[in-house]
Every structure is written in structure tokens, then in C-alpha cells.
Structure 1
Amino acid sequence: MPIPHLSTALRGPILDLENRILKATPTIEHWLRGKWRDHNVPFYCSVDLRNSGFKLAPVDTNLFPGGFNNLNPEFTPLCVQAMMTAVEKICPDVHSVLLIPENHTRNFFYLQNIASLQNIMQHAGMHVRIGTLLPHITTATKIDLPDGNTLTLEPIIRKNNRLSVNNFDPCAILLNNDLSTGIPSILQNLDQVVIPPTHAGWATRRKSKHFLAYDNVAQEFANLIDIDPWLINPLFSSCGKINFHEKQGEDCVASATNEILSNLQEKYTQYGVKEKPFVIIKADSGTYGMGIMTVKDGADIYALNRKQRNKMAVVKEGLPVSNVLVQEGVYTFESINQAVAEPVIYMIDHYVVGGFYRVHTGRGVDENLNAPGMHFVPLAFETTCQSPNRTAQPDCIPNRFYAYGVVARLALLAAALELEQAVVAAKETISA
């Protein structure tokens, strides 16, 4: 399955980096095929990218993607084909799946994502029902969605080491719940296949571990096509024992910020970049854009006001932040209707199946866009030229998207390595 023929919001001249990726297409695809043979690819994944015009890099990788409803409906055949491959690899005999979502019964946009995911799997030939972890749902509950569809949530039944819902014994459990608050006992020690594995959840996963794995992937890829790895890789560090309310751990965060800013300034000077470097401080686990701020000087850490400290102190479900990722800020110079935008690339197995733009009218090019007030613009198919088309003009837009698909798959590969390392670490802990 090739990269879809898609349009992007950035219409300027294609970057030298993108040209290098385009020219190396056969080498890249051969290299990636070898990686997919050697490693277990996450079942599905979404990657937030930022294109600064001089750099193209992933800034976040989500192993429980919650925006399938934001994909262009034209992508459904791609999703179905990739879903068939993903399921066959994990369990060829799977014909029924229990889908377990987040506990967001009031978030209709998220529930539309679950309905879209259920639809994709049904078109891939599977029976799919939706089980909820919410204790107050004790009977099948039908929910009407804004787009006219409906969703039925059912209470999960555990008997011995199998999960089911009424008159439905599934072969596999598909999680679309990122387990931020921990791995509930009902999901532990099951005889059924659980995808993604529970150790992919935020109860144990750390963004710093992911970007450490991405460091290795980016270096190997850079050697493959002879580029500076920094062009696809954000600098980062991490700090623990953080308490923003009590001002604990501030020295580590401030020091890491200043070190990254200093290294960034050297890179900006090397590449003739005139913008001012900045750093993003974010919680080392969790999603939904919580616990994130932009910093342009280490001294800013000491000067946070009460509102800023409260914002950084907790993430989803009110969980306290005790570890942070200090990450190079990557500008985004893409825009839709004069609003700042960033592409989010969706993958099922190792196939790019589409994506959308996260757009925010109230945020700047150096700010986190995953925040209240954002909206989504589905990527459209581009019909003017093929993707990738190495004989097309340099500003052929689908060629730019091919580069996006390559970098997103590098993040996917890093996630595969990250999860493998997590399994090894867990076994070492048990044996110790």
C-alpha cells in the first residue's frame, strides 16, 4: 500500500530535506521493509509533526489514537485494507473483537472516533462490540451521536481470565483507552490477546523513553540518506522529582532548558535560521495536550505564576506531574485560513492511512496546538500528481506529504523499539 496521494497546507518550495527523502525513496522503502520484518509494529498509531521550513520532526506519538472520525471518509478503504493486515498478523483467527474506549461518555467527538473505528473493523470482516469500564453502565446503553450515527456501550463481564459482553465471547481485546490512571485489574492476566499491550499505556510509558528510541532511529536513517539527524529529530532531556506547586525540581528543568537553547542556537546559526529558539516543557506521560508550556529562557521556570504552576502540576484525570520532558520547540509554518496548523499522521500497522490538520486560531507558531479551541481539517486526496513522483516539479505537494509519511513511520518504528525495550525491562525487574 503506497503513501496516499494527499495535499498539505504548506505550499512553498519543497525543502532540501524533502528532496533528499524523495530521491532516496527506493533505499528508504527497502530499509523500512527490513525493519517491519524485524520488529512488532504497534497495532495503530498517530504522530504529531511540525514543519518549520528548515526542519521536519515528530513532537508526539500516540499509541491509542482518538481521531479516526477526523479522517477523510475517502480514506476508509485504505484503513480497512491496513486493518485486515494488522489483525491477521496478531491473530489470524480473529473474527470478533471487544473494543474498550476511554471513559469519555460526554465527549461526543471522541465517541464518533470509536464509531469510526468500529466501522473500519466491521468493514474488515470482524464482529465488534464496545465494552465500557464505567461502573455506572450496567446495561447496554445506546448513545446518539451528533453525526446521526449511534453507539452502544455495554458493561464488561469477566469470567475466569476472559472478557466478554452479553452473548459475545471475543477473540481479542482492542484498547482505545490509554490507561493513564493505571491498568485496572479487569484487564490483567487475560487469556485473550490485548492490543495494544497494556504496557503501552501511560501508566508505564514515558515520552522520554520514546524519544530515546527515536534518537537511534533518526541517527540510523540520517546515515542511510546522508543528512544531519537534527533535521528530523528534536533535542530533548528529562527531569524527575518535579513538583511545580512546591517549586521542586526547578533547577533541573531550568538547566536542561538553557542547555537545549544553547545547542539550538548553534544549529540555528549553522543553518541560517533567524527565528528565536524555544523549548517545550511537557509532562513525561499523558496526552490531551495537558501539562505543556513554551519557554524561551531557563529563568522563566522560576518566574511561573500560580495559574501557570497549577496548569503544569496535573494532567488527565487530575494525575500529578512528577516527571517532565524538556523538548526542543519546533516551529510550524503551516497555516489554514491564516490559522496555525500542524499535520497529524495516522497509521494502522505500518501503513499510512491518512491524517488531518490540527488547527488553532488562538495559538502561535511556537505554541502547543493541542489545546481547547482547536479544530481539525481532514487531509484531502491530491489529484494533480502522484505521490511520490520523483519526476515532478519540486513543489509538487504530494511529494511533501511523502516526506511526512516517512518521518511518521520513523516515529512508529521508534514506538516499536520502545515497547520491545519495555518488555525486556519488565522481565529484568521480575527476575531481579
Structure 2
Amino acid sequence: MVPHLITALTGPINELEQRIIDSMPATERWFRLEWMEHTPPFYTSVDIRNAGFKLAPVDTNLFPGGWNHLTPEMLPLAVQAAMAAIEKICPEARNLLIVPENHTRNSFYLSNLAQLQRIFNMAGLHVRIGSISPDVKKPLVMDLPNGESITLEPLLRERGRIGLKNFDPCTILLNNDLSAGVPGILEDLHAQYLLPPLHAGWSVRRKSKHFRSYEEVTKRFGKVLGIDPWLINPLFGKCSDVDLTSSTGLEQLQTQVDTLLGKIRRKYKEYGINEKPFVVVKADNGTHGMGVMTVRDAKELAALQPQTLASMAVSKDGQTVHDALIQEGVLTQERVHEAVAEPVVYMVDRYVVGGFYRIHADRGSDENLNAPGAGFVPLAFHHSTQLPQPGARPGASAPNRFYMYGVVARLAMLAASYELEATDPNAEVYD
């Protein structure tokens, strides 16, 4: 079943879809040339919002969980992409070690690890999972809801290399976004490939840097398609030195919100859009869906209760928020099973391998869906029509719509590669 898209047959998004489908050869050549100059992140997931009048990414994850939501039909693509990625980095690779997040009791996350283990095992690697959690002192067998089980083992370090007892990997796959900082056991590894690199973690990474890179990418891609980059790019601002527990920086935040709302109003007027603009305020480092606030008027910030401000002041792993990203709010006009939905696209290396809709029955079209109560529905394809269909009526072909999502997701992935190059501590600097 193809999920019902309520924007399927009307609205400017169809013009964008038509432009992208018609420009497919130029688009694919443009990406091909970009990947000759830049290295894609090892794996990526991108949250996308379809407002009907614009389509834009709102978050890019370089340590994606949720692989368990990909269907068996999507696995062949994921395995092929994994093979290509490993061959580029370590062609002789035999052993791969996955280093997970520390929340070992979350069955959904454990199912995600099992899926990753399955993908890389089918790509020709021996795969084991090594935990840095202090709670994992010996091999721990964890049962999964589907009747399978996985084994977590304590990570060991010896002579500058990490591994497990009787297991010495050449490649380490991080599925831990390092929100709490980089543990010493992962630093200064000898002759081992760490994927993604440590500077991709939230101890270094900032959303504002990512969306600055994305803005640059969309300006260049917009010229290829002949479109206004705003149609695929959320406007944003950054507010530094904020301490919401003491209201420090709150006036500055209000000013920034007001300025961005003004820019969005001008764009809405230019395109004849009658929706009420809004912004989303969130931590500039990874939030994991925490501390995300929708604001339609800067005055709302002054009226916030102390407990609301306190919840906004802390992100994942108890990290204090000092810098805030203010992002143009993008409505989602899609519905699956009558619930508000947003597509999430998954990539390995430079290839789109699948995805799903994140749905939330209790959230509105202008709210964050990455919250407790969210559900997941695979991005559905008819088996015989997975490829885009040039010539199909705009909005009438689900593969065409999903191809468009894949293009936007790859633009975000390319922006992430720019971002990682700019923050690489080992990159050579030329005057």
C-alpha cells in the first residue's frame, strides 16, 4: 500500500516534483561530480517536511538509529551500499565492531542494532557489538520482541586498538552520537577506521553549521534546477550564550525569533501563502527530540513558565543548552492512517537505501513528531515500480515523490560532508 499523500494532486510541490523529475540526468550528474570532490558520511538519515508549497529537511542524523523500521525489501539495497562503502574504506575488512549507545534496555534500539548487524554481516563481515557502558561488564544476551537476540560485550582497549575478547576489528562503526562527549577509549586509535569520525559527534557538531552548509548546497543546486532555493531550504538563525534556566539571553532569543518570522512572512507574501508562519527553537547540538519548541510570536517566549524553560535548557544525556538554533517551521501536510506524518530517508555512503514515515496521532502539522507516542510506517513502493517514472503526472507516482525525497535527503547528506570537512581536526589548512 502506498501511503495517502494529501498533497498528491494539487499545489506547487507538484511543480517542484516535475522540475526534479525532468532534470534527473542533470541532477544525477551534479551529484556524481560532487561525490568526486567530497566524501559522503558513512551513513545518514534525514527528516523531511512536505508543506505542499515547500519541501525541506529539518534534521540530519549522522549516527542514525531506527534501521529496524526498514522493511526486508529494502535490505538488498542497504547491503549493496554497505559493500560499496566498506570496499572504499577497508577492502580487506573481515571484522566490524559496532559501538552502540548506552541505553541497553531499549528494545527498539536493540532491534536497530540487530538490523545493522544483519546488513553488515550480509555484506561479508563478521560483526559483533562492543559497549562502552559501565553496566556491561561481561557478555550480555538481550532478547528482542521478534524472538531474536543480540549479544553486547564489554569493549576492550589494548596497544592503541579497541575490540573484544578474541576479536580484533579493522573497522569500528559508531552508532553512538557522542552527546555526552568523546570517551577516552575511542581516542587516538592505531590503524583502525572509526566510522563516522569523532568530530561527527554532537560534542563537536552544531546544527547551525550544518544548515549553513545546506544553504550553500541549495544555492548551487537551485541554479541547476532553475528554482528559488527557499523551496527546499528552511531559513534559520542562531542564538548564542543562552541560559534558559536563568532567562539569560531570552531577549536576544526573542529578537532573533522576531527577525526570522519577518523573513518568513516576506517569503509567504511573495508566494501567496496564507499559512501563519512559525519557527522551531531547539538546541544547536543534538536534541534527540528533546527541548524542541514551536513559536509563532516572539512574545510567547516571555510568557513561558519556568518549568518549560528548564525543560528547554537540557538536551540528550543531560547536556546544558548554551546555543539555540532558530529554524523556519515547515508544516507537514502528509497523513498516514489519519496521523500527521513526515518522511525519514536512510542512506549508506551516497546511496538512498530506504526510509519510513514517522507519524504521530497526537501532534499537529506544525509540531515536532520525534516525541514519545510516535509510530513508523515504511515508505511503501510497488515492487515493480521502485524507479522514478518520467512522464507520469505530477503527484500521481509514489516512486516519483519518493525520488524527490531522496534528492532532498542527498542534498542534506552532501551538506553534512561539507560540514565534516570544515570541522576535521586532521585537515590540512592552507593560507
Q: State the secondary structure of the residue aligned to 1:370.
A: coil
Q: Which residue of 2 aligns with 1:68?
A: 67
1:34 aligns with 2:29: no
Q: Which residue of 2 aligns with 1:376?
A: 376
4+ aligned runs moved over 6 Å, structure 1: 425-428
CA RMSD of aligned residues (A): 1.6
1:10 aligns with 2:11: no
Q: Which residue of 1 aligns with 2:366?
A: 366
Q: Which residue of 1 aligns with 2:303?
A: 303
Q: CA shift at 1:282, angstroms?
A: 0.5
Residue-by-residue CA offset, 1:244-274 (whole Å, 9 max, x unaligned): 1100111221111111111111111111111
Match runs of 1:178-327 below 5 Å: 178-191=177-190, 192-327=192-327
Distance change in 2, residues 1:240/1:426 (3 Å) = farther
Q: Partner amino acid for 1:248?
A: T
Q: Which residue of 1 aligns with 2:355?
A: 355
Q: CA shift at 1:159, angstroms?
A: 0.4
Q: State the secondary structure of the residue aligned to 1:15.
A: helix
Asked whether the 8 Å contact 1:282–1:324 carries over to 2, the reply is yes
Q: Distance in 1 between matches of 2:217 and 2:193?
A: 28
Q: CA shift at 1:382, angstroms?
A: 2.3
Q: Partner amino acid for 2:240?
A: G
Q: Partner amino acid for 1:423?
A: D
1:155 aligns with 2:150: no
Q: Partner amino acid for 2:207?
A: K
Q: State the secondary structure of the residue aligned to 1:154.
A: strand
Q: State the secondary structure of the residue aligned to 1:47.
A: strand
Q: Distance in 2 between matches of 1:338 and 1:182?
A: 40
Q: State the secondary structure of the residue aligned to 1:227.
A: coil
1:423 aligns with 2:424: yes
TM-score norm. by structure 2 comes to 0.96
Q: Distance in 2 between matches of 1:351 and 1:136?
A: 36
Distance change in 2, residues 1:239/1:427 (3 Å) = farther
Q: Distance in 2 between matches of 1:277 and 1:66?
A: 31
Q: State the secondary structure of the residue aligned to 1:153.
A: strand
1:143 aligns with 2:142: yes
Asked whether the 8 Å contact 2:85–2:348 carries over to 1, the reply is yes
Distance change in 2, residues 1:174/1:425 (3 Å) = closer
Asked whether the 8 Å contact 2:421–2:427 carries over to 1, the reply is no
Q: Partner amino acid for 2:416?
A: A
Q: State the secondary structure of the residue aligned to 1:341.
A: strand
Gap runs ≥5 in structure 2: none
Residue-by-residue CA offset, 1:362-407 (whole Å, 9 max, x unaligned): 1000000001111111122224745311122222221111110000
TM-score norm. by structure 1 comes to 0.96
Asked whether the 8 Å contact 1:208–1:325 carries over to 2, the reply is yes
Asked whether the 8 Å contact 1:217–1:410 carries over to 2, the reply is yes
Distance change in 2, residues 1:194/1:9 (3 Å) = farther
Residue-by-residue CA offset, 1:157-211 (whole Å, 9 max, x unaligned): 1001101101111111110000001110000000111000010000110000000
Higher mean C-alpha deviation, range 43-52 or range 293-302: 293-302
Q: Partner amino acid for 1:396?
A: S
Asked whether the 8 Å contact 1:385–1:396 carries over to 2, the reply is no
Percentage of identical aligned residues: 53
Q: Which residue of 2 aligns with 1:397?
A: 398
Q: Distance in 2 between matches of 1:382 and 1:8?
A: 11
Q: Distance in 1 between matches of 2:286 and 2:241?
A: 17
Gap runs ≥5 in structure 1: 1-5
Q: Distance in 2 between matches of 1:139 and 1:343?
A: 39
Q: Partner amino acid for 2:424?
A: V
1:166 aligns with 2:165: yes
Q: Distance in 2 between matches of 1:253 and 1:427?
A: 36
